[in-house]
Structure 1
Amino acid sequence: MKANRLLLDSAVTALVPAIWGSTYLVTTELLPPDRPLLAATVRALPAGLVLLALGRVLPTGIWWWRALVLGTLNIGAFFFLLFVAAYHLPGGVAALVGSVQPAVTILLAALLLGDRVRVPHVVACVVAAGGVALLVLKSTVQLDAVGVLAALGGAVCMASGIVLTKRWKRPVGVLLFTGWQLTAGGLVLLPALLVVEGLPDTITGTNALGFGYLIVLGSLFGYSVWFRGIDRLPAVAMSFLGFMSPIVATFLGYLFLSQVLSPTQLIGAVVLIGSILLVQLTPNKPAREVQTDPRGTGTSASGK
């Protein structure tokens, strides 16, 4: 029964990186061109403020700086580094460099959560990197040091955010917890937006549609389900679900942008899905669940 519940939680959480895989298509087709900080800030801050308004509870005590740290790792710094990598590297190279993220998660989970390093997880890391290479890497690529460092930094941010979120445990309901982080991440991004890019002169209806998609599905829905998944799933399992993004991005490019989908890419997708399933089916210590009382405070319900 517990194994079935974990698989169900994995399937629900996998919807989120699948939705995030559509971000590239939405950004290139619907948003203003060359405005990565605008896209990142609008994706984070309005959604966070909506959830804060609904929850009407601000962090207290130690959670002021914890919310800032988590918001920076999971949202602000991650978004920024993601866009820097995208502007300096071909998408396939950025995805390949970012595939080190599960390995970083395994290491951090062992150090900070006491999780065991399991052979199937290590094997899955190697297999998944190969799957990403088959899926998105082309024969002619250009490497850029800034882009590579940004992609590595983004992978470290996501891995650190997952592990620290599990270690610290959320003290409030998942929607409010999501609101704290989105708001913190958005506020970190806002000064950079105002200084570097400035506000746009006009926003078209198409732009508004794209921003609405990112806010509602990418952030309000996406991060709420993502942080719920962090509560319920092992850290390593969460990190591998992120591979759904390049799979979906590749197939959307084929469907809507007339990009070629080769047999090699199909093999890569199958390999990636296999690595995801291998990790989800490998026994591990379940994540400690958090129960909330009517006042929104959280207590741990099960052992580590």
Structure 2
Amino acid sequence: MAAAVPGLFVVIWATGFVTARAVAPLADPLLFTAIRFVGATAVLALIALASRARFPAGGRGWFGPLVAGFLMQGVYLSGVFYAVSHGLPAGIAALVGSLQPLLTASLAGPVLGERVTLRRGVGIALGFLGAAMVLVPKIGVADTSGIPPAGLAICFGAVAALTLGTLWQKRTGGGGDLLANAVLQFLGGAVCALPLALLFGSGHLDPAPALWFGLAWAVLVNSVAGILLLLALIRRGAVAGVASLFFLVPPVSAAMGYVLFGETLTLLQLAGMAVAALGVAVANRG
């Protein structure tokens, strides 16, 4: 059972992109994301209190996780949900998201002073080459395999925010109680998402059963179960297992998108996903 946990985590992560696609006709993506963060923060806070998680003492200890959550949760997921709701296929959104480790590795040298090895450099190059094979031929194509330029740009901006949040977390230190930090990060996501929804959202919510199911899934499975599985993996020292499986998220999301929504990928795009996956795998071992 324990051996299945990393794979289960990847599947849960992949369903996040499908959830964004499924609820797109039913809800304003910014409002949906804001509600998701508020719900996830409340549920995780109750779990943290019940398990007597240690929250940082003083405002300074809260600042780092809040900023990380603002970027890694709030900006990233709001951007992804907005992009997918405006026509970006779920598999493509997942592919762009999978480039985050490569962006982080690219910036780790100048920002954190980390040395980029030759292996990692090759992995970064392969990852971006594979992404180009997937994205470039289909930008602006008007079919189910097409990629809307605006949605793609927003998704890249969201991944840039995720990368900055990761670097911020590494720079400020990731110490402290992991569950407490998770609560603060989701709270930071809510601090970002609520103003975005109020200022730029349409406020549209169709109270259909599918919406409530999607919201419950996003809160309880994508957010709460996902973070608890991640914490379990971290405590077991199996983070490398998650990293090695992370590149499976795009093809899993693409397969779900094909079955559920008829989203298709060309042979060139499938080959590009394989090259990008290889790049991420090589870079993670560098």
The answer, yes or no, to whether TM exceeds 0.5 is: yes
Please identify, of 256-265 and 208-217, the stretch whose mean Cα deviation from structure 2 is larger. 256-265
Please identify, of 204-213 and 191-200, the stretch whose mean Cα deviation from structure 2 is larger. 191-200
**Alignment match, 1:287:** none
* Residues 1:182 and 1:259: Cα distance change in structure 2 (over 3 Å): same
Distance in 1 between residues matched to 2:233 and 2:280, nearest whole Å:
15
* Residues 1:248 and 1:135: Cα distance change in structure 2 (over 3 Å): farther
8 Å contact kept, 1:174–1:228? no
8 Å contact kept, 1:44–1:182? yes
**Alignment match, 1:170:** 174
**Alignment match, 1:301:** none
Q: Secondary structure at the match of 1:172?
A: coil
Q: Which runs of 5+ in 2 are unaligned?
A: 142-146
TM-score, with normalisation over the residues of structure 2?
0.75
Deviation at 1:76, TM superposition (A): 0.9
- 1:18-49 deviations in Å (ceiling 9; x for gaps): 43332333233346535111221122221112
Q: Secondary structure at the match of 1:249?
A: helix
- 1:204-236 deviations in Å (ceiling 9; x for gaps): 22211111111122111223445677896899x
Please identify, of 80-89 and 184-193, the stretch whose mean Cα deviation from structure 2 is larger. 80-89
Richer in helix (by share): 2
8 Å contact kept, 1:59–1:67? no
8 Å contact kept, 2:84–2:93? yes
The code of the aligned residue for 1:74 comes to: M
Q: Which of the numbers 65, 68, 72 marks the counterpart of 1:67? A: 65
1:188-199 → structure 2 map (5 Å cutoff): 188-197=192-201
Q: Which of the numbers 166, 184, 188 marks the counterpart of 1:184? A: 188
8 Å contact kept, 1:99–1:128? no
TM-score, with normalisation over the residues of structure 1?
0.71
Distance in 2 between residues matched to 1:227 and 1:73, nearest whole Å:
20
**Alignment match, 1:24:** 17
Distance in 2 between residues matched to 1:263 and 1:173, nearest whole Å:
45
**Alignment match, 2:144:** none
**Alignment match, 2:126:** 127
Q: Which has the higher contact order (CA 8 A, sep 6+)?
A: 2
* Residues 1:242 and 1:229: Cα distance change in structure 2 (over 3 Å): same
1:1-304 → structure 2 map (5 Å cutoff): 15-30=8-23, 33-56=26-49, 58-61=55-58, 62-86=60-84, 90-91=88-89, 101-135=100-134, 138-139=137-138, 141=140, 147=151, 149-197=153-201, 203-226=207-230, 243-282=247-286
* Residues 1:250 and 1:79: Cα distance change in structure 2 (over 3 Å): same
Q: Which runs of 5+ in 1 are unaligned?
A: 1-7, 283-304
Considering only aligned residues, what root-mean-square deviation do their CA atoms show, in Å?
3.7
Deviation at 1:70, TM superposition (A): 0.8
Deviation at 1:74, TM superposition (A): 0.9
Please identify, of 54-63 and 192-201, the stretch whose mean Cα deviation from structure 2 is larger. 192-201
Deviation at 1:88, TM superposition (A): 6.0
- 1:248-269 deviations in Å (ceiling 9; x for gaps): 2211122223344543343233
Distance in 1 between residues matched to 2:160 and 2:78, nearest whole Å:
13
Please identify, of 174-183 and 90-99, the stretch whose mean Cα deviation from structure 2 is larger. 90-99
8 Å contact kept, 1:19–1:217? yes
* Residues 1:228 and 1:129: Cα distance change in structure 2 (over 3 Å): farther
Q: Secondary structure at the match of 2:79?
A: helix
The code of the aligned residue for 1:132 comes to: A
> Sequence identity of aligned pairs in percent?
26
Distance in 2 between residues matched to 1:259 and 1:149, nearest whole Å:
19
